Structure 1
Amino acid sequence: MSDPFDAPTEVQRDRWGRPLVHPPEGSGKPEGYTRCTTFVDALEDTYNLTQWEKRMVAIGLSERADLLLAVAAHRDDKKKLNEVANAAKEAAKASSAATTGTALHALTERVDRGEPLPALPETAQRDIDAYRRATVDLNSVAIEQFCVYDPFRIGGTPDRVVEYRGQLYIADVKTGSIDFGAMKIAMQLGVYSRSTPYDFRTHTRGQWPRDIDQDRGIVIHLPAGTGRCELRWIDISKGWDAVLVAKAVRDWRGEKDWYEPFEQAAIEAAATDWAAMVAEATAVEQLRDIWAAADLAGAYTDELDALCKARKQELESAA
């Protein structure tokens, strides 16, 4: 008998960070499902993110002479240079916004669960007050509920399932800029709107109270430190169209048979029934073509030579 106190408190993952899910077929063995964010990344335009990271590294290096020295000392060591670049990003406080956003995100969860909040800095308090005002008409039905989309073997955790005017919607809390990446957001919410709740403790699938809208989702934009929060509709039907394209791209990337050795044509030619072709030849010129083709394919043998000569005599005798 299993000890209920030993039940996992979060989704178990494999060494690649994929959530382990028991497939619906009931094989009994968990599989690594693709994380939703990873799945939709197949179509993400990373240009702006890459440019931002370059700027952060440049700023960090300008402020840390020791990191510049490390670059000079390890310019041929890729692993070390990666470590230096990451340190330079940290020196430029590249992760501070993400840290603040994660904390603010956690506070919104406590608000929606009806839990008390600790004393907050004034800036954070203004953000939370703005969040309460903007979401007053949204009733949270599920908060951080892990779910799966079995047809594509995707697992992920939407921020919220909310009820608004009697309809359920997938909602996403964003504490940073939403000027870029709208397609990725729409793709994720499109997947979640079609997904099924999954209890990782019991490995069972559940159901939402009602169908979730698959045309529109809600983005709760709470830019950290601004004291502002606004709701926006996002077209997740178009997002789902993009998910289907991402599925095709991932399938293409998994395709292995792109190349074929040169000798493959000769191997296939060797399997040709040359003897039957000789027997069916109706003219000497046709025999000459068969000779040439067999020779090119590396299939011309003494036996085939004898068959060709015998058939040539037959055709000439019948002429």
Structure 2
Amino acid sequence: MNQIADKAMDAAGAYVKREKGTHLHALSEHVDAGLPLPTGTSALDQRDMAAYLMETVDFEIRAVERFVVVPELRTGGTFDRLLEYSGPGPDGEHVEGLFIGDLKTGSVEHGKLKMAMQLAVYSRGEFYDHTRVPVDTADRKAFAAWKKREVSAAEAAQAYTPLAGVSQKWGIVINLPAGSGECTLHWVDLEIGWAAARLGLDVRTTRGTKGAMLPWVSGVTRNRVA
């Protein structure tokens, strides 16, 4: 069934869109670093990158593709950009500081709350350095044994670095639909997103609640008839 589903998704172009998005993400990293685009970059991709460059000119890129964890939600993920920005905010008033940025290469008309949740979680994360794991994570037995090892709180804390000074009120979506030659920016309300993420945790926790239904136990004892 999984193979049939994969073939259906491939026929529908799902993997093409995913691969194109990954490709544009890679090209955008060249732009952010001030590097020339790779030889052979198509004219269509060049148009997309030109639009991306023009729309993000007001940002200073402070981090790219960094993994963070949020112990409160027992989750983690990799954000696209950490942006430094100073200028008009969503209400026209001046804002400045660090903002989580996310590059979307498809439509943003749907899933807006999901995007707000995603960026809100990132904004409340901590950098986690997985390279501090002293074993090959591909070796399942060794990794499983390592996870059971007791470590001091001080040793464990060395893998975490605070994500300091990042806005937990606003995030930024950079929308660059593949092949469109157009790029737009969108403010994302992270307070709404965080409330939804916390609600999701409550729902997940509640689903694991046991004891909501118990078997009936009669309080009447009947004497046997000899």
- Normalising TM by the smaller chain, what interval? 0.7 to 0.9
Separation in 2 of the partners of 1:110 and 1:299? 82
What is residue 46 of structure 2 aligned with on the other side? 125
Over 3 Å counting, the alpha-carbon distance change for 1:84 and 1:152 in structure 2 is closer
Over 3 Å counting, the alpha-carbon distance change for 1:118 and 1:243 in structure 2 is same
What is residue 282 of structure 1 aligned with on the other side? none
- 1:150 Cα shift? 1.4
Structure having the higher Rg: 1
Separation in 1 of the partners of 2:75 and 2:33? 26
Would the aligned equivalents of 2:120 and 2:194 in 1 still touch at CA under 8 Å? yes
Separation in 2 of the partners of 1:133 and 1:175? 16
In structure 1, which of residues 292, 297, 306 is the aligned counterpart of residue 220 of structure 2? 297
| Greater relative contact order, per chain length (Cα 8 Å cut-off, separation 6+) | 2
Separation in 2 of the partners of 1:239 and 1:172? 14
Task: After TM superposition, list the pairs within 5 Å mapping 1:49-128 onto structure 2.
Answer: 79=1, 82-119=2-39, 120-128=41-49
SS, match of residue 100 in structure 1: helix
**Count of residue pairs the alignment pairs up:** 189
Compare the two structures and name the one with the higher strand fraction: 2
TM-score (normalizing by structure 1): 0.56
SS, match of residue 113 in structure 2: helix
What is residue 194 of structure 2 aligned with on the other side? 240
What is residue 134 of structure 1 aligned with on the other side? 55
Separation in 1 of the partners of 2:222 and 2:170? 63
Amino acid paired to 2:199: V
- 1:262 Cα shift? 1.4
Amino acid paired to 1:187: M
- 1:90 Cα shift? 1.6
What is residue 182 of structure 2 aligned with on the other side? 228
What is residue 82 of structure 2 aligned with on the other side? 161
Amino acid paired to 2:109: D
- 1:211 Cα shift? 1.3
In structure 1, which of residues 184, 192, 207 is the aligned counterpart of residue 162 of structure 2? 207
What is residue 36 of structure 1 aligned with on the other side? none
- 1:106 Cα shift? 1.5
Would the aligned equivalents of 2:172 and 2:188 in 1 still touch at CA under 8 Å? yes
Identity %: 43
- 1:299 Cα shift? 8.9
Cα deviation, 1:5-31, whole Å, max 9, x if unaligned, reads xxxxxxxxxxxxxxxxxxxxxxxxxxx
Compare the two structures and name the one with the higher helix fraction: 1
Would the aligned equivalents of 2:73 and 2:198 in 1 still touch at CA under 8 Å? no
In structure 2, the gaps of 5 or more residues are 87-95, 133-157
What is residue 137 of structure 2 aligned with on the other side? none
In structure 1, the gaps of 5 or more residues are 1-78, 267-295, 301-319
TM-score (normalizing by structure 2): 0.77
Over 3 Å counting, the alpha-carbon distance change for 1:137 and 1:257 in structure 2 is same
